């Protein structure tokens, strides 16, 4: 599991960043002080999300400090304070891989974290699909929702993987049957309905909101954001 280090001295901001990462199934270390940063770096994080440090307070200096210590394969995602072009240019010049203006939404944070990791160390990601609060890690054959494991049959897993591979794309029942089970003559369209029903039931055990939407007369699609309102 990918390890993210959140560097932020303000407790509320640190908690918000950490919670968003944990919900997307990242392991998280938090550091508020310089001594905590030194310890956390020894745990070999895969990415650093850099907010604010008390010492050094200058984000450019903080980037220099981290970049001098971290391997080149570990990206730094800097969270803006001034949200200015000058600040962005300074932290990028100091070694940050990307810059994200604040306030930061959870989905945007996860998207940019994944982009940074993919750019610097693509092998560390494996095949991971994310859609709202659902995460499918194909390398370890694991599905989580809101950080909790979802236990699925092989057919339900493959069906979910298909839907998550193209959020908002409408798959017909026949397309699902062919893509998931191939040309197996023993699998009928009613089998698709049955497996889909069981998949929805398994997801609902973690959270009731149904991320799989029926399109009348056509088929099914995965909502691009499966988080309940």
The domain spanning residue 208 has which CATH number?
A: 1.10.10.10
Domain of residue 116: give its range: 3-124
pLDDT greater than 90 at residue 8: yes
141 and 113 in a single domain? The answer is no
C-alpha R_g of the chain: 20
145 and 84 in a single domain? The answer is no
Per-residue pLDDT reduced to its tens digit, 30-46? 998 888 888 888 888 98
Q: Side by side, which strands form the sheet with 76-79?
A: 27-31, 3-7, 47-50, 76-79, 98-100
Q: Quick one: pLDDT band at residue 182, thresholds 50, 70, 90?
A: confident
Closest-CA residue to 21 (of 100, 157, 97, 133): 133
DSSP, collapsed to helix, strand or coil, labels residue 47 as strand
109 and 137 in a single domain? The answer is no
106 and 143 in a single domain? The answer is no
Q: What is the reported pLDDT for 60? A: 84
Note whether residue 108 is domain-resident: yes
72 and 140 in a single domain? The answer is no
Note whether residue 142 is domain-resident: yes
Note whether residue 24 is domain-resident: yes
Residue that finishes a domain, picked among 65, 96, 124: 124
108 and 165 in a single domain? The answer is no
100 and 177 in a single domain? The answer is no
Note whether residue 228 is domain-resident: no
Q: What is the reported pLDDT for 89? A: 92
pLDDT greater than 50 at residue 190: yes
Note whether residue 229 is domain-resident: no
The distance between the two most distant Cα atoms of the chain, rounded to a whole number of Å, is 66
146 and 93 in a single domain? The answer is no
pLDDT greater than 70 at residue 210: yes
Q: Assess contact for 30 and 6: CB atoms under 8 A.
A: yes
CA 111 vs. chain centroid, Å, equals: 6
Residue that finishes a domain, picked among 70, 100, 124: 124
pLDDT greater than 60 at residue 52: yes
Question: Per the structure block, which two tokens stand in for 221?
Answer: 């699609």
Mark 103-142 as b/e (b = at least 16 C-beta within 10 Å). ebebbebbebbbebbeebbeeeeeebbbbbbbbbbeeeeb
Note whether residue 227 is domain-resident: no
Distances (CA, A) of 162 to 101, 155, 159, 166, 193: 33, 11, 5, 7, 15
Q: Quick one: pLDDT band at residue 122, thresholds 50, 70, 90?
A: low
Residue that finishes a domain, picked among 78, 97, 124: 124
Closest-CA residue to 137 (of 169, 114, 106, 105): 114
Q: Quick one: pLDDT band at residue 5, thresholds 50, 70, 90?
A: very high
114 and 156 in a single domain? The answer is no
Note whether residue 107 is domain-resident: yes
132 and 104 in a single domain? The answer is no
CATH number of residue 103's parent domain: 3.40.50.2300
120 and 57 in a single domain? The answer is yes
Q: Quick one: pLDDT band at residue 139, thresholds 50, 70, 90?
A: confident
75 and 12 in a single domain? The answer is yes
Note whether residue 76 is domain-resident: yes
Q: What is the reported pLDDT for 58? A: 79
Cβ count within 10 A of residue 170: 14
Q: How many domains does the chain have?
A: 2
């Amino acid at each position: 599991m990918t390890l993210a280090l959140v560097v932020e001295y303000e407790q509320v901001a640190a908690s918000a960043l950490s919670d968003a990462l944990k919900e997307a199934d990242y392991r998280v270390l938090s550091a508020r002080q310089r001594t905590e940063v030194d310890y956390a770096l020894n745990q070999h994080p895969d990415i650093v999300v850099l907010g604010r440090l008390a010492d050094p307070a200058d984000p450019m200096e903080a980037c220099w400090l981290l970049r001098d210590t971290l391997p080149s394969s570990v990206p730094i995602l800097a969270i803006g304070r001034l949200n200015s072009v000058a600040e962005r240019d300074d932290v990028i010049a100091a070694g940050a891989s990307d810059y994200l203006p604040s306030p930061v939404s959870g989905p945007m944070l996860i998207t940019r974290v994944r982009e940074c990791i993919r750019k610097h160390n693509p092998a560390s990601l494996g095949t991971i699909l994310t859609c709202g609060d659902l995460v499918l890690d194909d390398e370890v054959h694991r599905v989580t929702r809101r950080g909790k494991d979802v236990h699925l049959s092989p057919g339900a897993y493959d069906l979910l993987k298909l839907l998550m591979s193209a959020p908002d794309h409408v798959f017909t029942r026949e397309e699902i049957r062919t893509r998931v089970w191939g040309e197996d003559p023993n699998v009928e369209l009613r089998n698709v309905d049955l497996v889909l029903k069981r998949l929805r039931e398994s997801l609902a055990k973690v959270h009731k909101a149904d991320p799989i939407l029926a399109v009348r007369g056509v088929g099914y699609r995965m909502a691009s954001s499966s988080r309940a309102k």
